[in-house]
Structure 1
Amino acid sequence: MKANHFMRFFLILFITYPLFFLANPQAVLAQEDSFLEGQVFEVATNNPLPGANVYWENQPQKGVVTDLDGNFRIPRIELPSKLIVSYIGFEESIRVINQKDHNKPLRFFLQESQMALEEVIIRDRRPDENVKSLDMGKSVVAIETIKNIPALFGEVDLLRSLQLLPGVQTAGEGTTGLFVRGGSADQNLIQIDGAPVYNPSHFFGFFSVFNPDALSGVEFYKGNIPSNFGGRISSVIDISLKEGNYEKVRGEGGIGTISSRLTVDGPLFSENSSFVVSGRRTYADMFLRLSSNPEINSNDLYFYDLSGKFTFKLGEKDKLSVSSYYGSDFLGLSSQFGLGWNNWVTSITWNRNISERLFFDLNAYHSAYQYNVNFDDPDNGFKWGNRLSESGVKAEWNFNVTENTLINWGVHSQLYNFAPISLDPAPGSAIEPIATNPRNGMQNNVFIGAATDVTDRLRVDAGLRWAIFQLHGRGVDYIYAEGEPSPDAEITDSLVFRPFQRIKGFNGLEPRLSFRYLIQDDLSIKASYNRNFQYLQVASSSSAGLPIDRWILAGTYVPPIRGDQVSVGVFKNLEGNKWEVSGEVYYKDIKNIIDLRQGANILFTDNVESEILTGNGYAYGTEFLLRKNTGRTTGWLSYTYSRTWRQIDGISFDQWYNPRFDRPHDLTLVLNHEFNKRWSAGLTFVYTTGQAVTFPVGSYEVDNQRLPLYSGVRNDDRFPDYHRMDASVTWKNVDKGRKWKGSWNFSVYNLYGRKNPFAYQFTEIYNDQINFTPTQTDVIESRRPGVVMTYLFTFLPSVTYNFNF
């Protein structure tokens, strides 16, 4: 079938399918009388409880789970009957449902159990979901778990917590960059309330931009990515901001070693509207001011972030929410040098229950990222900056055809705007001005997915996504003499395009297929296949990700990345779902991935395609996970063996090589233990193979300076293996009915002081002193080539006071 015919078929399907149900409400409501609806809340806060179990007393095996808004819909049985609602850490609610209760929505309020443990690993899912669901390569991490993990400087971090899961690698010491199943950091879609975040880090990657106090949930997909997500080939991190309380004002926050935070929420105008506002700021710059040394007290170093969400219930069937996030970093060295960057993300979401079985969500968003560099110097001063943004609209329908059959479909349009990179010299500066041309693109997506039970044991999920991408003007394309861009190729002509004039277009079908076969009630096997296209990627010499990274849209010389992943897994629960055991194997094939030429300069060039090369890659791995979910001691042990390879003509003698984040062995242990109501403790241990690097094979002299000599083989060496243990202890006030509740957290990062290398410098050592820089008057007694290792942290304690009211 030709592409345009297929597109027409899809458009007809997406338009007529929902209209059929809207025009024929009887078809939608034919079986609605056989269902019972309700909502589950937490009694103390009146917040909805997602993931609560709802089931009839005499049919517990056919229970349902509440959605993100606490709603449930369960098939009705002969009435009267007892309906049971349960949630980990809360007392059960048992209610007799009579015939008169059937036609009105039910509301359940759960009371927190007095014997409940707060430190549980998973709260918002059913105990056997890992076995019976179709989810594969998916993790739902509770915010309580993230807050309980020992943290760098006591700063709880979402992305660093995800690094503790199997199949996720890190760029190095202290960084929040994620490398998922052989993919680079730019291959992860990180979004908050549906809006993407292009630089999710503070302090050059040491902290993520997400304040856990402001979040309600995190879903992490690394395998079977649903068809309603697209645009990245490795993973999706779907983050939701917390919804405010509708009954009373409350707050929580903390005062830590380097930052403080505060979150306040409550009713806005009435019981049908709510707000939540959250802020966080470091105060490292305030401590710098206390120094008497002018070289120190004149520096600036800080970050802050603000987020807010406003929710309005427009009626029984409609809800509107507006959320926004702003984060900013700044590094200033005296008054001479300044580097700053910020994210601003805004999202508007409308949720409508068209009927008891048909739901509609509309999301509009705008995400902007920019950086600025200022250098104040009379001879070489300049201002350098760049800005990029993405705007989009996404409409999605979800239809519960039957109790076991779900269908969802929708459309998603995205507009990319990559502004020109500008380098403006200061007055009198000897630096020449530099300006690049903008890059703009538009991407339209349609998707459909369906999941159903083929038999009592076999469940299948199939999806299809079609993305149509177009690079358009305003912009410039260069024509090269040999037809292929390279640093030495002559530019023979340039094509100038008007705004929204088409430059280059691509499209691709992205099928998704997965199944789960239930061997026993506590044992299942799952398999999935995913294809994803990615129409933008980063050209960077750093694996960790920097604020000045160069994003590149697919175009005339840079095709989109295509990723195909196959995974198979076995999932087993033990001792009544107290323990989870799973093993997954995966293989990922990657086409059209880019990497930099040797000695590439990409920051200011307008024809960046001449500095990069395109090739292919693949990754494979095995992941094991053992997790304990209940009891005084909870946590998990995971091990991953994985390899990542790339082959790009022009790099490493055209042979296969490993990117820097190829780290074959990865072992993680996470433990939490509650001694009593006052005291609890946490411990993590990580061990990974050292990252792949290129070390010099010799040296040579130029102008009496000895310089390292590198071979043409890329990343043929490795850092030493990395390992670290962190620990924390938490002391809580006993709850005596006071409104103010506080706790102290004492944590130690790198408990046994391991000096893990951050970087190596190959340099000259004078007089056997690694920090000695000779001047013309210094006597040089000895001179030899040497290697200087830089490490960031050894034994690093911190203390944080957390509170809520």
Structure 2
Amino acid sequence: MRFLLKFILSSFLFCLVKSSLVLAQTNEHVEGVIYEVSNNNPLPGANVYWENHAQKGVVTDLDGSFRLQKIDLPAKLIVSFIGFEETIRIINEKDLGKIQKFYLKESQLALEEVIIRDRRPDENVKSLDMGKSVVPIETIKNIPALFGEVDLLRSLQLLPGVQTAGEGTTGLFVRGGSADQNLIQIDGAPVYNPSHFFGFFSVFNPDALNGVEFYKGNIPANFGGRISSVIDISLKEGNYEKIRGEGGIGSISSRLTVDGPLFSENSSFVISGRRTYADMFLRLSSDPEIKNNDLYFYDLSGKFTFKLGEKDKLAVSSYMGSDYLGFAMQFGLGWTNWVSSVTWNRNISDRMFFDLNAYHSAYQYSIKLTDPDTGFDWGNRLSESGIKATWNFSPNEKTMVNWGVHSQLYNFAPINLDPTPGSAIEPIATNPRNGMQNNVFIGAATDVSDRLRVDAGLRLGIYQLHGKGVDYVYEGGIPSPDVAITDSLVYGSFQRIKGFEGLEPRLSLRYMLDDELSIKASYNRNFQYLQVASSSSAGLPIDRWILAGTYVPPIRGDQVSLGLFRNFNKDRWEVSVEGYYKDIKNVIDLRQGANILFEDNVEAEILTGNGYAYGLEFLLRKNSGKTTGWLSYTYSRTWRQIDGISFDQRYNPRFDRPHDLTMVLNHEFNKRWSAGLTFVYTTGQAVTFPVGSYEVDNQRLPLYSGIRNDDRFPDYHRMDASVTWKNVDRGRKWKGSWNFSIYNLYGRKNPFSYQFTEIYNDQVNFTPTMDNVVESRRPGVVMTYLFTFLPSVTYNFNF
């Protein structure tokens, strides 16, 4: 391993030195930026190519930028984008070395909100991407939403291979992985709890976002740390020429985003905010038990961008979101995310580009109970800081090489429970956990022939758990609640406790069978050095994150994918079929009856084992026309095998759902009216139902077998619909639209939970008292569902 590490570092340094000796900047490329003429937003995914050389064109990145190798000049440069008018410009030798700016105007036939325009039309077939989706914000905004709240993560649940924890939640389970196996980052900084309202909404305000890239198959070498997926989100860059804004007033929240030039035409800002007002409605109640409650969330984000010259750009971004739930000044629960990053982009030459990203992400929660007999304050905080440097080098139009380094520092503060004065509660405190991870990565993609393209990558992660902290020694060397702790090892700051190394190869191939049909294959290995120990599959604010250490090794995930991709009718339609198999090592799960919230030696409450998942994903998608959308079906299975659980036999985690069908349709009737429709159907989640009951102190309690998740909820299905009406565009600065949506159109009562309890007098909510005598008693099952027919209205505007 040491030899391999030296080899990789030597290769990295060689490439770095070589990059500085590249030929002088000879202006062999045309560089430019594509903007929307209506709002000066950068336009990612636009096609740029020379006339009669369309196959050698490029696609603009998330900043709307492109670099295209020159040909014999003068020549016609063509810029096109679905839904926009094509632009042609003659480029001469004198234009080289200058940043070309293009402003595209929307076509009169464009479907502004519903058209799928996230990439070039044939990218589905000709790119190397497998299991990747570039989700356009316009499409997300047009999908019918719960309470009218447009939601990024809930929109991703409509893609093949992605499943949800249950009704109304934003948790993602990707190709057999748990929610903590997804890396969700915003401008390069990870977000540890991406949800509001206990998972009903995600923390991302769509008005503040520029783009979303979602990887669930071939994850590039420059990403690491999670084994299932990467959700790479970028905040919107401000307008450099004029002030503008957009927002909305909805059923439970309102939002506003303002952007424009900051100091000059070389700097810009974006400020975005959103807040619910459910607590304001509570204040109107005459019932003191309701009036004195608090229930709200808010989020704020900002991004400041500075053009330091023709070759340098600096961006500073920050996000903060907070939730709070309080009952009559007696109980309070709150949690907060705060994420910040600084990114420097530099064009070293026409062939080489450099990105430097530094970030800090912090998450904390706090629970307070004011009862004089049992009151307490309970809180925890965790954070990750990092710096990442990436070089991209394009020696020719067929080859792209990237390499870099990434260092991460984890700090998981102690969990503290402090009793209030006079409380009978005993104080509880755990020890902190700290970790450091250093990564080196390199990747390259090239055309081996006209039909075959190959992308190979390698990532090396070196991780160590270090002090300040405590490590426990168990009798027999294996942690368990039934085993005595024989010693406690105390480590000072940055003293090494345990270390791991992981080499992560990647390989993907694309072979063109003809101009509209390709076959792709990929292999990925990823290591994950932190996990969540939780009894809830949906995810809770108090989830316990665990760093790899003496008794908990890192997860290793190996995934193989194979897919067939075909486009029809001049790329208006596309179809794909992807199959995958994922092998998972060292995954954790809780022991039966485990208590992990306040345990310092949490390793005694969990068990480690292996798992695997496989599936087949089908996608039919229509990209243009009056009606757009997609139909997807996924067949998948997920298994775990952990000694000590389910009699050492394999079992399904709760998010195993074999069948998943999704339909998304958008239709534009005319310039003023459009509509959206979604339908989802999934197999019910795996659960454990009792096999009998027993009595203790005259109370009947459920009896469970030792087999985990051997039962299922009923199948889940739901249809949502929305209609959007836009004001006529009369050239005014203020433009508005109304969105009317219905969640669960036909009122399906999908179960959220089941409670096995005693039913008195055949009444579910009967409470025995001196006046209410119990006349009958029987065991029963009470089903709880959250939403049936739920309408909402939102007014959206921009200026």
Q: CA deviation at 1:117?
A: 1.1
User: Which residue does 2:220 correspond to in 1?
Assistant: 226
Confirm whether residue 530 of structure 1 aligns to residue 527 of structure 2.
Answer: no
User: Which residue does 1:79 correspond to in 2?
Assistant: 73
**Counterpart amino acid of residue 677 in structure 2:** L
**Counterpart amino acid of residue 679 in structure 1:** W
2: CA distance, partners of 1:627 / 1:246: 36
Q: CA deviation at 1:119?
A: 2.8
Secondary structure of 1:88 counterpart: coil
After superposing the two structures, state which structure 1 stretch, 102-111 or 631-640, moved more: 102-111
1:632-681 deviation per Cα after TM superposition (whole angstroms, max 9, x unaligned):
10000000000000000000000000000000000000000000000000
**Counterpart amino acid of residue 472 in structure 1:** H
User: Which residue does 1:39 correspond to in 2?
Assistant: 33
- Map residues 536-615 of structure 1 onto 2, 5 A cutoff: 536-615=530-609
- Map residues 240-255 of structure 1 onto 2, 5 A cutoff: 240-255=234-249
1: CA distance, partners of 2:302 / 2:646: 48
Q: CA deviation at 1:776?
A: 4.1
Confirm whether residue 92 of structure 1 aligns to residue 90 of structure 2.
Answer: no
Question: Number of matched residues?
Answer: 799
Secondary structure of 1:270 counterpart: coil
- Map residues 591-740 of structure 1 onto 2, 5 A cutoff: 591-740=585-734
User: Which residue does 1:502 correspond to in 2?
Assistant: 496
Confirm whether residue 767 of structure 1 aligns to residue 764 of structure 2.
Answer: no
After superposing the two structures, state which structure 1 stretch, 383-392 or 93-102, moved more: 93-102
* Residue among 158, 167, 180 paired with 1:173: 167
Secondary structure of 1:482 counterpart: helix
Q: 1:487 to 1:255 in 2, by over 3 A?
A: same
- Contact 1:313–1:320 at 8 Å: present in 2 too? yes
- Map residues 176-215 of structure 1 onto 2, 5 A cutoff: 176-215=170-209
Confirm whether residue 17 of structure 1 aligns to residue 15 of structure 2.
Answer: yes
2: CA distance, partners of 1:278 / 1:372: 26
Confirm whether residue 64 of structure 1 aligns to residue 61 of structure 2.
Answer: no
1: CA distance, partners of 2:626 / 2:116: 14
**Counterpart amino acid of residue 51 in structure 1:** G
- Contact 2:724–2:738 at 8 Å: present in 1 too? yes
1: CA distance, partners of 2:183 / 2:115: 24
1: CA distance, partners of 2:763 / 2:32: 72
User: Which residue does 2:390 correspond to in 1?
Assistant: 396
Secondary structure of 1:609 counterpart: helix
Q: 1:404 to 1:355 in 2, by over 3 A?
A: same
2: CA distance, partners of 1:80 / 1:352: 28
Q: CA deviation at 1:109?
A: 1.8
Q: CA deviation at 1:619?
A: 0.1
TM-score (norm 2): 0.99
User: Which residue does 1:160 correspond to in 2?
Assistant: 154
2: CA distance, partners of 1:448 / 1:315: 28
2: CA distance, partners of 1:801 / 1:702: 56
- Contact 2:406–2:440 at 8 Å: present in 1 too? yes
Q: CA deviation at 1:220?
A: 0.2
* Residue among 430, 434, 439 paired with 2:428: 434
Secondary structure of 1:708 counterpart: strand
1: CA distance, partners of 2:646 / 2:41: 56
- Contact 2:27–2:350 at 8 Å: present in 1 too? no
User: Which residue does 1:302 correspond to in 2?
Assistant: 296
User: Which residue does 1:8 correspond to in 2?
Assistant: 6
2: CA distance, partners of 1:357 / 1:655: 55
Structure 2 gaps, min length 5: none
* Residue among 141, 151, 174 paired with 1:147: 141
TM-score (norm 1): 0.98
Secondary structure of 2:583 counterpart: strand
- Contact 1:122–1:140 at 8 Å: present in 2 too? no
- Contact 1:250–1:264 at 8 Å: present in 2 too? yes
**Counterpart amino acid of residue 220 in structure 2:** P
- Map residues 366-381 of structure 1 onto 2, 5 A cutoff: 366-381=360-375
Q: What RMSD in Å do the two structures reach over aligned CA positions?
A: 1.0
- Contact 1:121–1:142 at 8 Å: present in 2 too? no
User: Which residue does 1:801 correspond to in 2?
Assistant: 795
**Counterpart amino acid of residue 8 in structure 1:** K
User: Which residue does 1:293 correspond to in 2?
Assistant: 287
Secondary structure of 2:396 counterpart: coil
Runs ≥4 residues deviating over 6 A: none
- Contact 1:121–1:141 at 8 Å: present in 2 too? no
- Contact 1:281–1:305 at 8 Å: present in 2 too? yes
Secondary structure of 1:447 counterpart: strand
**Counterpart amino acid of residue 11 in structure 2:** L
After superposing the two structures, state which structure 1 stretch, 574-583 or 46-55, moved more: 46-55
After superposing the two structures, state which structure 1 stretch, 100-109 or 313-322, moved more: 100-109
Secondary structure of 1:401 counterpart: strand
- Contact 2:62–2:210 at 8 Å: present in 1 too? no
Secondary structure of 1:115 counterpart: coil
Q: CA deviation at 1:777?
A: 4.2
2: CA distance, partners of 1:199 / 1:328: 11
* Residue among 254, 258, 267 paired with 1:260: 254
Secondary structure of 1:285 counterpart: helix
- Contact 1:120–1:629 at 8 Å: present in 2 too? no
- Contact 1:681–1:728 at 8 Å: present in 2 too? yes
2: CA distance, partners of 1:76 / 1:569: 34
1:363-401 deviation per Cα after TM superposition (whole angstroms, max 9, x unaligned):
000000000000001100000000000000000000011
1:730-785 deviation per Cα after TM superposition (whole angstroms, max 9, x unaligned):
00001110000000000000000000000000000000000002124432111000
1: CA distance, partners of 2:188 / 2:716: 35
- Contact 2:116–2:629 at 8 Å: present in 1 too? no
